[in-house]
Amino acid sequence: MIISVASGKGGTGKTTVAVNLALSLEDTELLDCDVEEPNCNIFLKKKLKNVEDVSIPVPIINEKCDFCGKCSEFCEYNALAVMKGNVLVFKELCHGCGGCKLVCPKDAITYKERKIGEVAGEDNFYQGKLNIGEAIATPIVSAVKKKIKKEKTVIIDSPPGAFCPVIEAVSGSDYCLLVTEPTPFGLNDLKIAVEVLKKIDVPYGVIINREGIGDKRVEEYCKKNNVPVLMKIPHDRKIAELYSKGIPFVLEMPEWKEKFRGLYGAIR
């Protein structure tokens, strides 16, 4: 079973839920797909091995080019600009889709691999990391997901938000846990995340983290729209202190292991 953990906004507690859920179950694999700022290993403290580069193909224009402009017209990301006697390639904008080569009538395009990040891990934990200054995270997320061991219960820590890397992370999941907080910001971004999951047809439920800091509008929204609230994690000082020390709270509060196992049972 593949369970992704997502949210409409950052800071709601995705990593907290993903790590503690993985530590509460038997025979799990945890994948950190929040590649712009992977932080699951702050809590796991593993010595990451097996580092693999992730690259994308960037076009190289050769002497066959007659500057017809078809490659530039095709590129949705404006990574190519054709001028009189020259073609500019903006490598930071290129998504490596290969479309420019397909439409080139002169076969004037070849490719050179450009590293944008890496995947590292061991045993049942892997993380992706996007290089500083890079803007395209989706290929890193895809590379991390290639490490999925289908015979295990896989937990995916997704990026925050509701953009392309999030969709790549949660696509193909059997279930998605949406972690939110009971605040107006939490509710606004939860609504966006719910619409995304409806579009890609992934079942979902909600975990309310830091319950007690806001109001009841998140619960009212979930009730009105038949969204299951599967767990509430209180705004608890002990949990916060353990978090600040990089300690998963299920290791010090064993009653929460049982609650996360119950959560898994509810999902199944």
Q: Residue 65 has what pLDDT? A: 97
* Strands ordered across the beta sheet of 28-32: 49-61, 109-122, 125-130, 28-32, 153-157, 2-6, 175-180, 204-211, 229-234
- Decide if 156 contacts 3 (C-beta within 8 A): yes
Question: Average of pLDDT values for 156-170?
Answer: 95
Question: Average of pLDDT values for 3-30?
Answer: 94
Q: Residue 121 has what pLDDT? A: 95
Question: Average of pLDDT values for 180-192?
Answer: 94
- Decide if 126 contacts 147 (C-beta within 8 A): yes
Question: Average of pLDDT values for 38-48?
Answer: 95
Q: For the chain, which residues make up each domain, given as ranges?
A: 2-48+116-267, 59-112
- What angle do the packed helices 217-224 and 184-200 form, to 10 degrees? 30
Q: Residue 82 has what pLDDT? A: 96
Residue partners of 174: CB distance under 8 A and separation at least 6: 1, 2, 3, 203
Two structure tokens written together for 169: 């992370």
Q: Residue 127 has what pLDDT? A: 98
pLDDT band at 214 (very low <50, low <70, confident <90, very high): confident
pLDDT band at 253 (very low <50, low <70, confident <90, very high): very high
Question: Average of pLDDT values for 97-118?
Answer: 96
The pLDDT > 90 percentage for the chain reads: 93
DSSP state, residue 39 = -
Report how far residue 17's alpha carbon sits from residue 108's, in angstroms, rounded to the nearest whole number: 50
Question: Average of pLDDT values for 109-118?
Answer: 96
DSSP state, residue 201 = T
Question: Average of pLDDT values for 188-195?
Answer: 95
Whether 10 has a pLDDT exceeding 90, the answer reads: no
Q: What is the mean pLDDT of the chain?
A: 95
Is 2-48+116-267 a CATH 3.40.50.300 domain?
Answer: yes
Q: What is the CATH number of domain 59-112?
A: 3.30.70.20
49-53, 73-77, 201-205, 239-243: least confident range: 49-53
Question: Average of pLDDT values for 77-91?
Answer: 95
DSSP letters for 87-125: EEE-TTT-----HHHHH-TT--EEEEEEEEEEEEEETTE
pLDDT band at 9 (very low <50, low <70, confident <90, very high): confident
